[in-house]
Amino acid sequence: MNALFSPLLRQSFQTTGVYLLIIALTLAISATTALKFSNEQIQHAVALQAAEMLAADLVLNDTQPIAPKWREQAQALGLKQSEVTVFSSMAHTDEQFVMVNVKAIQTNFPLRGELTIEPKAQQLQSGEVWLSQRAMDLLKVKLGDRIAIADGQFRVSGKILHDSNQELGFSGFSPTVMIAQQDVAKTNAIQLGSRIDYRVLLAGEPKAIQQYEQDFKQFKNQQKTQSKQVAQTEDEQQAGLRLRNASEGNTRLMKPIANLDTFLQLANILTILLCGIAIALSSQRYILQNQDHIALLRCMGASKVQIFKAYLFLLLVVFAVAMLLGSIAGVVLGYGLLQLMMQLIPQLNVPFSAFAMLWGPLPIALLTSATVLLGFVLPQLWQLLNTPPIRVIRQQEKSVQSMLLVLFSGMLSLIIFSVVLTENLVLTAWVMGAILALCAVLYGLIWGLLKFIRRLKLGISAYVRTPYQTAFQITALALGLSLITVLAVLRTDLLERWQQQLPVGTPNQFVYGLPPFEKDAFQQQLNQHGWKGTPLYPNVRGRLVAKNDQPFATQLVQHNNSLRRELNLTQASTFPSDNVIVSGAKQFSQSHQVSVEAKTATELGIQIGDRLTFSLPEGVLQATVINLRSVEWESFSPNFFFIFSPQTMDANAGSYLASFYVPPAQKPLLIDMIQQFSNTVFIDVSLVLDEVKRIVGLLVQIISILALLVALSGILVLIACLNLLMDERKREVALLRSFGSSKQKLKRMLSLEIGFMGFIAGVVSCFFAEVISAIASYKMELVLQPHWEIWWILPLCMTLVCMLIGRYRLSYLSDIPPLQSLRELN
């Protein structure tokens, strides 16, 4: 084998094919390594950003004091802890009385995020209180003044400038005051029947966090299976104990973060495909350049096994070179990408570790790149070894079966590559399946179209010489171009979706507990200031207890939170603007009808026509289900599980709630309104909006950078593909020159041919891009929409790019003497 290996090694490195193959493999290793490493770090960094709104990685909360065993378990896992108690109370001076949200904290609060206090560099001491700006305005106090919270006396020692811990809920209304955890007792605000939220904040390493979550889930599962005959134990008394992570604590961030995760995985898949195209075309070129050598070796008596082993070792050398270059480039690219993100996005904290990259994404990239290489090269090599030498030398066309074998082997390796890197079988199956089906259909259509054009015997027919080969090249070009386009299209769709979620004028104030007798005066104040918002909804507390006069099953009650607690019920003649009727009547026709949120109906087995029974403070209420609604819980507007028809409930039995928008410049006017309606809770969600907008803006910047990186990789692949097309025309240029064709005529004819191929590739890439983006939009729950702008941009741009690159390459080929080209080719 050594006698074969040495000359083959020298011969291979004297041709361009092996260098193109090394470049393609280097690109695959470096790009996938850098992207996977960056994605992991970005996901961790974004999770930390989201955790800032929760002030921790995990939060244990209950309406009862939390059992010590949970803090002991967290300590055993090395997690940092901080206790927080949240309750509402009356804060007052001698003249001002204000209902406030009291947050009792420890000195290490928050575990994630920032708490900025003025004056700086201080800790909250016993007997001191920190106030938000709104609390200071309402109480009309300044630093150093004294206020009372229930029975406790406190000195104002700081103003809260920024608290990233912003959770939206009726327990999180502003104005906010912070006191030391040890001062809760002296307020005497916690009495029997008080609504208290006891929290234990946890933060630490990802593995410890995952272990704690897993242990908690096991506890809850065991709790659900406990028999009701057994007397209640301490564990059973903790039925209300909840564990929340960052996404569960901030539902408005769940969809953007989930979309970012899907986008990152899609970027990995598209990068893999781009690199796969480059490896496939380069390996094909490499095999074509070596087929004469294989035929000669066979004629000289070398066995198939000897040749196969020699080429296998040759590929090992090629891969070793690519591995060295790709590893260096991958580490540099990964470091550069993270540094770029940190420069463009200063608030993103992304650590870099070369060791973590070398022992994490890099081995996976090496293994899968080797799999793709062998998947494309070995079938072609084995096919050549089993072909008679005379047929190889004559370069007869490959059979359809052999082409299908190579395609199947290569695509199988690509699919394995994608699944390993993305760890998302469903998304990979959808995208790969769609691409394979599109490639097959469009290849057949292009082949048929080119054959039809060739038979017309028109001027354009001269540019179509080998329809099957041209169709393959056009399909490859179209696929590469479409993969670049998909990320740009999806980035725009995601940005539009997030902008729609938080449009200009999104309600930033939420009012709750408005007494019925103050409703008209409150609406008059809103109209007077010109503050637009949602209708005022009556809010009555009640429990769902039966369906069709039958109580819900005990097991269903235990597993569904909506059956174990009181719900906010309302009645209205119309539905909220962001609610969509899934099935049933579009509007109410009489009293005692109810509309149900679709997911709740599915969980509880509620269908249209069912009669639901509710227990209200004033008695039992029954209503018939007339429709099911989808609810946009991410919106900053009031939403309800159950909406009744007018005159079903006594609207004066409860209170009213609504949301409205106050321009930042008019916020001082809100102080007088809060004081006028002192029995009403005003929730300032502008702080939540600011945090959500900040993180969404962060996600947009990350997606833009990743889309740019993949686009640059794709452009390099497209240039490599076009260069390969030019190489295949080297023989044609040499032959036509030897027959007397002028340089200008050759340049014009072949430039038009390449431009024509680019135009068709641009049109075909639009189909690819629309289908793949539709699949990704479906997975991200985005609205499916056509992108008409790409239908003229892509064909035009691809035509110009192909013509320019083609003309540059053809100028080089045309200047080579024909005899020299023919000698090099032979």
The 3-state DSSP class for residue 655 equals: strand
Is the distance from CB of 597 to CB of 642 less than 8 angstroms? yes
The DSSP H or E segment spanning 363 is helix 361-385
Q: What is the pLDDT of residue 360?
A: 63
Measured distance CA(59)–CA(65) in Å, rounded: 14
- Tens digit of each residue's pLDDT (9 = 90 or more) over 303-336: 777 777 777 788 788 888 888 887 787 777 777 7
CA R_g for the chain: 34
* Lowest mean per-residue pLDDT among 88-97, 143-152, 213-222, 374-383: 374-383
- Asked whether residue 649 carries a pLDDT value surpassing 70, the answer given is yes
pLDDT interval class at 560 (50, 70, 90): confident
- Asked whether residue 704 carries a pLDDT value surpassing 60, the answer given is yes
The DSSP H or E segment spanning 621 is strand 619-630
Amino acid letter for position 354: A
Indicate the burial class of 132 (C-beta count within 10 angstroms; 0-12, 13-18, 19 or more): buried
Phi, psi of 498 (to 5 degrees): -70, -35
Helices (H) and strands (E) in the chain, counts: 24, 21
Of 77 and 417, the one with more pLDDT: 77
Among 45, 44, 35, residue whose Cα is nearest residue 334: 35
pLDDT interval class at 687 (50, 70, 90): low
Measured distance CA(660)–CA(652) in Å, rounded: 22
pLDDT interval class at 684 (50, 70, 90): confident
Is the distance from CB of 432 to CB of 415 less than 8 angstroms? yes
Q: What is the pLDDT of residue 576?
A: 85
Mean pLDDT (whole number) for 612-641 = 85
User: Which residue matches tokens 């007018």?
Assistant: 646
DSSP-derived letter for residue 200 is E
* Lowest mean per-residue pLDDT among 267-281, 558-572, 698-712: 698-712
The 3-state DSSP class for residue 413 equals: helix
* Lowest mean per-residue pLDDT among 72-86, 249-263, 778-792: 249-263
Cα distances (Å, whole numbers) of residue 678 to 147, 151, 168, 350, 519? 18, 20, 21, 46, 13
- Asked whether residue 797 carries a pLDDT value surpassing 70, the answer given is yes
Instruction: Report the b/e string of 324-355 with b at 16+ CB within 10 A.
Output: ebbbebbbebbbebbeebbeebeebebebeee
The DSSP H or E segment spanning 204 is none
Q: What is the pLDDT of residue 609?
A: 92
Measured distance CA(307)–CA(381) in Å, rounded: 10
Instruction: Report the b/e string of 37-71 with b at 16+ CB within 10 A.
Output: bbbebbeebbbbbbbbbbbbbbbbbbeeebeeebb
The CA-based dihedral angle spanning residues 361, 367, 373, 375, taken in that order and rounded to the nearest 10 degrees:
-120
Mean pLDDT (whole number) for 480-490 = 73
Q: What is the pLDDT of residue 608?
A: 92
- Asked whether residue 597 carries a pLDDT value surpassing 80, the answer given is yes
* Lowest mean per-residue pLDDT among 193-202, 445-454, 644-653: 445-454
User: Which residue matches tokens 């637009």?
Assistant: 532
Phi, psi of 695 (to 5 degrees): -70, -40
Measured distance CA(195)–CA(501) in Å, rounded: 31
Indicate the burial class of 509 (C-beta count within 10 angstroms; 0-12, 13-18, 19 or more): buried
Cα distances (Å, whole numbers) of residue 176 to 88, 117, 532, 787? 9, 13, 25, 47
Q: Both tokens of residue 275?
A: 């690199």
Q: What is the pLDDT of residue 24?
A: 73
- Asked whether residue 251 carries a pLDDT value surpassing 60, the answer given is no
User: Which residue matches tokens 């199988």?
Assistant: 412
- Tens digit of each residue's pLDDT (9 = 90 or more) over 129-174: 999 888 888 888 989 899 999 889 999 999 988 787 765 444 445 6
* Mean model confidence pLDDT for the chain: 76
User: Which residue matches tokens 């035009």?
Assistant: 796
Q: What is the pLDDT of residue 613?
A: 92
User: Which residue matches tokens 């007494």?
Assistant: 515
User: Which residue matches tokens 């969809």?
Assistant: 255
Q: What is the pLDDT of residue 233?
A: 46
pLDDT interval class at 645 (50, 70, 90): very high
- Tens digit of each residue's pLDDT (9 = 90 or more) over 31-42: 777 766 766 666
Cα distances (Å, whole numbers) of residue 796 to 118, 219, 474, 685? 58, 61, 15, 47
The 3-state DSSP class for residue 195 equals: coil
Give the orientation angle of helix 16-54 with respect to helix 686-728, to 10 degrees.
Answer: 180
- Tens digit of each residue's pLDDT (9 = 90 or more) over 516-547: 888 889 999 898 888 888 889 998 888 898 99
User: Which residue matches tokens 């000897």?
Assistant: 306
- Asked whether residue 179 carries a pLDDT value surpassing 90, the answer given is yes
Percent of the chain at pLDDT exceeding 90: 8
Bridge partners for 546 per DSSP: 551, 613
Q: Which of 15-19, 484-488, 537-541 has the highest mean pLDDT?
A: 537-541
- Asked whether residue 714 carries a pLDDT value surpassing 90, the answer given is no
Q: Both tokens of residue 289?
A: 């350049």
Bridge partners for 132 per DSSP: 160
Q: What is the pLDDT of residue 594?
A: 93
Mean pLDDT (whole number) for 449-462 = 70
Q: Both tokens of residue 527?
A: 């109209």
User: Which residue matches tokens 């001027």?
Assistant: 459
- Asked whether residue 277 carries a pLDDT value surpassing 60, the answer given is yes
Q: What is the pLDDT of residue 682?
A: 80
Helical ranges in 729-816 per DSSP H: 730-738, 743-779, 790-815
The 3-state DSSP class for residue 645 equals: coil
pLDDT interval class at 444 (50, 70, 90): confident
Query: N- to C-terminal Cα distance for the chain?
Result: 25
Of 382 and 727, the one with more pLDDT: 382
Q: What is the pLDDT of residue 147?
A: 93
- Asked whether residue 625 carries a pLDDT value surpassing 50, the answer given is yes
- Report residue 764 CA to chain centroid gap: 27
Percent of the chain at pLDDT exceeding 70: 65
pLDDT interval class at 614 (50, 70, 90): very high
Mean pLDDT (whole number) for 5-13 = 71
Mean pLDDT (whole number) for 609-618 = 89
Instruction: Report the b/e string of 101-121 with b at 16+ CB within 10 A.
Output: bbbbbeeebbbbbebebeeee
